Amino acid sequence: MQYSLILPIFNEQENIETLYSRIDKVMKQIDRSYEIIFINDGSTDKSQVILTALAKKNKAVKVINFSRNFGHQIAVTAGLNHSSGEVVAILDADLQDPPEVLPSFFKKLSEGYDVVYAIRRHRKESIPKRIMYYLFYRLLRLVANISIPLDSGDFCVMSRRVVLLLKNLPERNRFIRGLRSWVGFRQTGLTYERQSRMAGKSKYTLAKMFKLAFDGIFSFSYIPLQLLTWGGFIFLALAFFGIILTLYAKLFTDIFIPRGFPTTIIVILFIGGMNMFSLGIIGEYIGRIYDEIKQRQLYIVESKLNF
Ligand code: UDP
Ligand code: MG
C-alpha cells in the first residue's frame, strides 16, 4: 500500500459523497495503490449508510464505525492504527482541507521529509473562533516544552515510521498535532488556503474545543504547575517585605500603624504563600507522575553508526 488517507466523520452526510469523488479524482491521477479510511465517530445521521455504500462500490474505501462519539482526536488515532500506507494523510471531512493539494504534499514528503504539515494561510471561520485559535496557538507556543508549529492543525502527510511511532505512544489524552511534533525527524510546513466548510455545521462544540486546547497545554507543558510555585514565592516574599517594612516604620519613623494590622496582613500573606508553595511542590510530583504515566519513549533514535 502506498497511500492511506484518514478521514474522521461525525455527522457529515452532506459532505461524504463530494469528498469521496474529489479524493478519488486526485488519487486516480497519482496512480498508486491507496486506501481511504473513514472513521465514523458515532454519527447519528446517514453517514454510516453512505459510507457502507461507498465501501461496497470501492474496495479501497475502508470504514471503521465507532459505537458512539469518541471525539475527533480518537477517531484520527483509530485511523492511524488501521492504516498501512507508506505515506499517511490526515484530512478533515468537511472539505476545509482540499484533497487537491495532496499531490504537492506528497511531493514535498518525497524530498526527504517525514512530516509535511499544513499551515493555514487564512481561516474562513467566525471571528470569535479565529481569535480563540489565534490566541491558543500563541499561548501553546509560549508554554509548551517542545516546539509546535503555529496555525497548523491535524492536516498533514506523514511517513510510515512517524505513524508507527504515534501508534506506539500509549497516552490517552491525545493532542495529535503536538505528538506529531514531539516525534521529531525532518518536518516542514506547506501553506494552503483553508476553505470554508462545504456543508453542515462545525462538529467542534465549545466544550470539545476547550478539551482540545487543554490537552494541548497540559500534555506539553508544566508551566501551569510551576506557576503555583512561583506564585507561592511571590506571596512569601511579600510577607517578608511586610515584616521589614513594619519594623522599619516602627523603629525609624513615627508613622501611625494600627496595632495588629501589619501582623494580620503578614500572616495572611505568609500562610497564603506557604499554601501555594506547597501545592507547587505537590504539583511537581504530580507532573512527574503524569510523565511516567504517559509512557512516552525517552528518545527516538534516527540512525546509528558502527553498532
Ligand atoms: N469530528 C469527529 N468527531 C467529533 C468532532 C468532529 O470525527 O467529535 C470530525 C468532523 O467530522 C470533521 C473533523 O473532525 O471531519 C473536523 O471537525 P469540524 O470540521 O467540525 O471542526 P472545525 O473545522 O470546525 O474546527
Ligand atoms: Mg471543519
In terms of domains, do 146 and 264 share one?
no
Q: Name the average pLDDT for the chain.
A: 93
pLDDT at 152 over 90: no
In terms of domains, do 274 and 182 share one?
no
pLDDT at 122: 79
**Residue nearest atom 8 of ligand 1, based on CA coordinates:** 71
Mutate to test the pocket of ligand 1, among 64, 68, 73, 94 (most ligand atoms within 8 A of CB): 94
Give bridge partners of residue 62 from the DSSP assignment: 37
How many angstroms does the Cα of residue 202 sit away from the middle of ligand 1? 6
Task: Over range 275-302, report the average pLDDT.
Answer: 92
pLDDT at 123 over 80: no
In terms of domains, do 243 and 114 share one?
no
What is d(CA 124, CA 137) in angstroms, rounded to the nearest whole number? 17
Mutate to test the pocket of ligand 1, among 45, 204, 208 (most ligand atoms within 8 A of CB): 204
In terms of domains, do 156 and 254 share one?
no
Structure pTM?
0.87
Percent of the chain topping pLDDT 90: 80
Ion ligand 2: protein residues whose beta carbon lies under 5 Å? 92, 94, 96, 197
In terms of domains, do 162 and 237 share one?
no
Q: Which residue has the cell 467542534?
A: 204
Residue whose C-alpha is closest to residue 157's, from 120, 188, 192, 185: 188
In terms of domains, do 13 and 161 share one?
yes
Domains in the chain: how many in total? 2
In terms of domains, do 246 and 119 share one?
no
In terms of domains, do 164 and 253 share one?
no
Q: Give the pairing type, strands 34-40 and 61-65.
A: parallel
Q: How far is CA 162 from CA 23, 81, 149, in A?
A: 23, 12, 17
In terms of domains, do 213 and 229 share one?
no
What is d(CA 72, CA 34) in angstroms, rounded to the nearest whole number? 22
Residue 171 in contact with residue 216, Cβ under 8 Å?
no
In terms of domains, do 22 and 160 share one?
yes
Summarize pLDDT for 59-88 with one digit per residue, the tens.
999 999 999 999 999 999 999 999 999 999
Q: What CATH number is given to the structural domain containing 61? A: 3.90.550.10
By residue range, what is the domain housing residue 154?
A: 3-220+297-305
**Residue nearest atom 25 of ligand 1, based on CA coordinates:** 204
